[in-house]
Amino acid sequence: MGERKLASRLDRLGTETAYSVAAEARALASKGKTIYPFHIGDFDIKTPPHIIEAAKHYLDEGKTGYCDAAGIPCLREALAEEITSTRGVTYDKDEVSVQPGGKSVIGKFLQVCMEDGDEVLYPSPGYPIYESQINFLGGVAVPYAFKDTGNSIELDMDKFSKLFTPQTKVVIFNNYQNPFGYASHETELREIAALCVKHNVWVLSDEAYFDLVFDGTPKSIVAQPGMKERSVILYTFSKSFSMTGWRLGAAIGPKDVIAQINKLNSNQEACTNHFVQFAGYTALTSPLSIVHINSVRDTLLRRRNLLVEKLNEVPGFTAYTPAAAFYVMVNVTKAMEMVGVKRGDLESFRKKILGETGVSFCTREHFGAPLDGERVQYVRFAFSGVDTKVIEDATAALKTFMQNFLAPESKCFDATNSAHAKLSGAFERDGLLVSGGATV
Ligand code: PLP
């Protein structure tokens, strides 16, 4: 047999490298090391019983055949109603295409709305599948950045607005963002929408964390003027209903786009699992689900507050409070310097902390290629799968380890100090902490 060659397009396909961190942590655990797992955004909270019971019921009832590629009508209707009532924009069932998870919306949306060579603006750091799919499907991936203001993370609107060119055809926007947990306020949503309208681009509004916003009422960019007709919402059951492994989501957008996405469904998976769709219908329509979502949000809020507080007691670590989702991005620029890892080598820092303390996390590098001139160094802690005891133990282990690197005079560490003031004067004078508007 001659040389076997795989398709060259595969060179452009990325993956979720967070799973290799999980494998590494598992391998250490199997050798008896205590691991504190903050790497993957999966839940230790089970799918609520009423949804599980519904799935069993529909299996017994024989909802096990092929069904409509667009999804079962009652689920599409329920989704249209849910989006209409929570986003403040009217949708009907023909604007809904059921998907095997939210993730599949990304590639299908790009296949329908992006031509070869089109520029696509996407957040970086951001959910890694955006970059992977843009490159794989022949687009030009143009990342937009966030900035560290010294006490919070913000979208760098100034830079964002300058990225649009005549070749820009698509914007991927993820309000309630992974990994920063960042929430755009109303004025920013209006500005982003105005830019999208002005440049006449398609928009993917990734709303995976819409139900997990800690303060205030969540807002969708589709409610801004001129947005409904150019936007596709990525909806998922994964986070709101603790259904990550069920693989159920939807694309919601203009009828002509949805009709093409339905055609892709029939070419790819034929349809989403029949009985899972019916369980999703129960998830959306049962009052018990509201109780579940509220209790998940409360649990996550307790974890978030504890984690941010405790991480800020770790020498060299600076954490801001995320507004939504279940991730804390931690500025470890100082910590890397303290342990002697050079800036840019986040992977060595991750491995060192994992090996020394058992605390397992992803780094900025797991969320898209770093941008030119990026100086602040971040790691991401996911707190969806860890209870408060794990948070206490993990942060105590981190603190003990990092205290070894404090200058002698600051070893009696005052936890009430601000995160920035907690290191010795020597470190502060070195000016190693890059914040104050630095692009990340
Ligand atoms: N979008 C974002 C921002 C995410 O973080 C995730 C999963 O973590 C998804 C989409 C996809 O989720 P799923 O495929 O489970 O619906």
Residue 105: pLDDT band by 50, 70, 90 thresholds?
very high
Strands in 318-319's sheet, in edge-to-edge order, are 318-319, 327-331, 378-382, 362-363
Separation of CA 103 and ligand 1 centre (Å): 6
Separation of CA 178 and ligand 1 centre (Å): 9
Q: What pLDDT is attached to residue 428?
A: 30
| Closest to 314 (Cα-Cα) out of 428, 408, 391, 425 | 391
Pocket residue to mutate for ligand 1, from 206, 252, 327, most atoms within 8 A of Cβ:
206
How far apart are the C-alpha atoms of 44 and 418, rounded to whole Å? Answer: 31
Decide which of 424 and 329 is more confident: 329
CA 53, 57, 63, 69 torsion-angle sign? negative
Q: What is the mean pLDDT of residues 67-80?
A: 98
Number of the ligand 1 atom closest to the C-alpha atom of 177? 3
Summarize pLDDT for 146-179 with one digit per residue, the tens.
Answer: 998 888 899 999 999 999 999 999 999 999 999 9
Q: What pLDDT is attached to residue 151?
A: 82
Which residues is 204 bridged to in the sheet? 172, 232
Summarize pLDDT for 289-311 with one digit per residue, the tens.
Answer: 999 999 999 999 999 999 999 99
3-class DSSP string for 264-320? HHHHCCCCCCHHHHHHHHHHHHCHHHHHHHHHHHHHHHHHHHHHHHHHCCCCCCEEC
Q: What is the mean pLDDT of residues 244-254?
A: 98
Is 261:251 a contact under the CB 8 Å cutoff?
A: yes
Residue 237: pLDDT band by 50, 70, 90 thresholds?
very high
Other beta carbons within 10 angstroms of residue 281's beta carbon come to 22
3-class DSSP string for 9-72? HHHHCCCCCHHHHHHHHHHHHHCCCCCEECCCCCCCCCCCHHHHHHHHHHHHCCCCCCCCCCCC
How far apart are the C-alpha atoms of 276 and 324, rounded to whole Å? Answer: 27
Number of the ligand 1 atom closest to the C-alpha atom of 325? 5
Q: What is the mean pLDDT of residues 67-85?
A: 98
How far apart are the C-alpha atoms of 222 and 227, rounded to whole Å? Answer: 5
- The chain-wide mean pLDDT, for the chain, equals 92
Question: Going by CA atoms, what residue is nearest to atom 11 of ligand 1?
Answer: 103
Q: What is the mean pLDDT of residues 73-88?
A: 98
Spell out which residues line ligand 1, taking CB within 6 angstroms.
41, 101-103, 127, 174, 178, 206, 208, 234, 236, 238, 244, 249
Summarize pLDDT for 400-440 with one digit per residue, the tens.
Answer: 999 999 887 665 544 444 443 333 323 332 222 233 344 44
Separation of CA 105 and ligand 1 centre (Å): 10
Is 434:375 a contact under the CB 8 Å cutoff?
A: yes
Question: Going by CA atoms, what residue is nearest to atom 9 of ligand 1?
Answer: 103
Separation of CA 239 and ligand 1 centre (Å): 8
**The tokens of 347 are what?**
């992977």
Summarize pLDDT for 177-234 with one digit per residue, the tens.
Answer: 999 999 999 999 999 999 999 999 999 999 999 999 998 899 999 999 999 999 999 9
Distance, C-alpha 227 to centroid of its chain:
22
The helix-helix angle for 255-267 and 103-113 (nearest 10°) equals 110
Q: What pLDDT is attached to residue 407?
A: 80
Summarize pLDDT for 342-390 with one digit per residue, the tens.
Answer: 999 999 999 999 999 999 999 999 999 889 888 899 999 999 999 999 9
pLDDT at 273 over 60: yes
Q: What pLDDT is attached to residue 160?
A: 97
Number of the ligand 1 atom closest to the C-alpha atom of 249? 16
